[in-house]
Structure 1
Amino acid sequence: MLLSDAFVIAGGAGDEGLSAFKRATGATAWTTTETLPADELINVRDPIIVDDTVFVGAQSLRTGSHVFALDLETGTERWRTSVGSGTPTIGGLRFEGGMLYGTAHTDRTSVFAVDTDAETAVWQTELGSTGTPPVAVADGTVYVPGDRQEDHGLRALDAETGDLLWGAVDQEVRGAPTVGESSVYVTTPNDVGPKTLIALDKESGETRWTFETLNGTNGSAVYADGTVTFGTSDGELYCLATDGTPEWRYENDGARFSQSAPVRIGETLIAGATLDSPGLYAFDATTGDLRWSLPVPSVSTTPAIADGIIYSLYRTGERYTYNLMAVRTD
């Protein structure tokens, strides 16, 4: 889910396609089931907005998988390009310097770069069989999480060529890497090996420090104002200084903060929770004190915030049934 000045853009892993909702009212502005009816898009994940274009990777039941460029106002197609052979599943996209970066998977996983001016893929690098992990890109480097079956939990690729720069971490990484000033931070999941946040040198991949927790996370950390904050599956949120020193910890046994990343806005931290005490939680970002909580059904995706309003998806009923809500914070 992401925001423009006028819309909330959201997609799903099922057959909902991609939709734009008016920020002011929540009314549907457009959906790909209407603008691209012949494609019947499925497995839409993590669209991004660049200027007046929505970029998203998705599978078409009729024509295969593509990266799509859609008009932000209308949802109509501007162009599409293939990224891999067969009908791969495509992960979330990231943008830097006129290029889109992401992952695609059929029987193997590849990382790709798409030139948005040329409207075509310019390189693909095969890494193994790691699904479609969410990448991060910063300062000419693409950071790619890895599966425990592969040699490295994190790889760094040259954003211009796709060449491997380094590999690091001997544990599985599922969440998107978080890039700070000089370090890249990764988390490890709940079901494999030690549960840690790991800080790596951005240039070399050398481990700077690790912070071990009782349980892990599928989500990512958030970096802001010299701190790194992340949640775990046992109801804890940790805020660390960039040298790994703990700043504060919050604990709630009934709230699982491990499915998404928290969001920092000014002096407030917003986190979504699932399990027995699901909902939205707001904390003082400096002290970790709970400011308020809103008990709504399972919030398993990262919220978005703009103009004092929190936009969040929550899940009810069947696994892929999501609802959109807007919450005013003042």
Structure 2
Amino acid sequence: ERPLVSSAAVVGDAVYIADFTHVYALDLQSGAERWRFTHDAVTLYFAPVATAEQVLITSYDTAFALDAQSGDVRWSRRFDDVEIIPAAASPDLVFIKSANVLYALRAETGADAWRYSSLNYVSLPALSAQQMFVITRRDGGSQLRTLNLADGQESWHSADDNFANAAPVIAGNRVYVRTVDGRVQAFGE
């Protein structure tokens, strides 16, 4: 047996976790294996992103949406030699990212919904009901940006600061961001 290498995703009564070549669905209470996804060409390093319907995984330049109940592939999509990682999910969209591009894909098909590009870096997103928050880095500075979930349009951004290359966190009506010097900044009410 290989060691598990990813963080876990928990949805309902299931836990989804990966080692280098498999994704496992485990029963939350008993730990019993429900299903295992294996693919010869897949190497998995990042935590799956899961919803009640599907589990999103990536292997180098390919995204796979697995059925959450059976582990069967619902769709897969290649991104032409661009390394991607699973980022987040909403009811209708799943998100993957490369170093500087955030891709929003239709959850049912994997088709493009929209994409957001930054010159140097875009973080993993933090999602709320209608919008998402990301850290971007451009020209030596960084900003917290608010994007509309439906179309990816930017609705707000902070002044330049020195935010860390880490995902923002939402708690209540605030968004928290870490800076490279160890401070935490809060935005919102």
Q: Same fold (TM over 0.5)?
A: yes
Whether contact under 8 Å (2:12, 2:52) holds in the other structure is: no
Letter in structure 2 aligned against 1:158 = D
| Cα distance, 1:140 vs structure 2 | 2.0
| Cα distance, 1:253 vs structure 2 | 5.0
Instruction: State the match for 1:94 in structure 2.
Output: 9
Q: Distance in 1 between matches of 2:160 and 2:64?
A: 34
Q: Deviations over 1:149-193 (max 9, x none)?
A: xxx1x210011111111113513223x42112311122222xxxx
Letter in structure 2 aligned against 1:237 = L
Instruction: State the match for 1:313 in structure 2.
Output: none
Match of 1:273 among 148, 156, 179: 179
1:132-211 aligned at under 5 Å gives the runs 132-148=45-61, 152=62, 154-168=63-77, 170=79, 171-174=82-85, 176-189=86-99, 195-211=100-116
Instruction: State the match for 2:27 in structure 1.
Output: 115
* Greater relative contact order (CA < 8 Å, ≥ 6 in sequence): 2
Gaps of 5+ in 1: 1-84, 190-194, 286-330
Letter in structure 1 aligned against 2:105 = L
Structure 1: 4+ residue segments shifted above 4 A:
none
Instruction: State the match for 1:246 in structure 2.
Output: 154
Whether contact under 8 Å (1:229, 1:237) holds in the other structure is: yes
How many pairs are equivalent?
A: 182
Tell me, yes or no, if structure 1 residue 215 matches structure 2 residue 120: yes
Identity percentage of aligned residues: 22
| Cα distance, 1:251 vs structure 2 | 4.3
Q: Distance in 1 between matches of 2:154 and 2:136?
A: 15
**1:227/1:134 CA distance change after superposition, 3 Å:** same
Tell me, yes or no, if structure 1 residue 284 matches structure 2 residue 153: no
Q: Distance in 1 between matches of 2:78 and 2:130?
A: 23
Whether contact under 8 Å (1:187, 1:216) holds in the other structure is: no
After TM superposition, the score normalised by the length of structure 1 is 0.51
Whether contact under 8 Å (1:134, 1:145) holds in the other structure is: no
Secondary structure, in 3 states, of the residue corresponding to 1:255?
coil
Letter in structure 2 aligned against 1:101 = Y
**1:247/1:126 CA distance change after superposition, 3 Å:** same
Instruction: State the match for 1:290 in structure 2.
Output: none
Q: Distance in 2 between matches of 1:180 and 1:279?
A: 29
**1:114/1:284 CA distance change after superposition, 3 Å:** same
**1:157/1:209 CA distance change after superposition, 3 Å:** same
| Cα distance, 1:232 vs structure 2 | 2.8
Q: Deviations over 1:190-246 (max 9, x none)?
A: xxxxx21211111111111111111224x4211113111111344122211121111
Whether contact under 8 Å (2:135, 2:163) holds in the other structure is: no
After TM superposition, the score normalised by the length of structure 2 is 0.84
Q: Distance in 1 between matches of 2:27 and 2:129?
A: 33
Q: Distance in 1 between matches of 2:4 and 2:13?
A: 23
Whether contact under 8 Å (1:272, 1:280) holds in the other structure is: yes
Whether contact under 8 Å (1:187, 1:221) holds in the other structure is: no
Instruction: State the match for 1:292 in structure 2.
Output: none
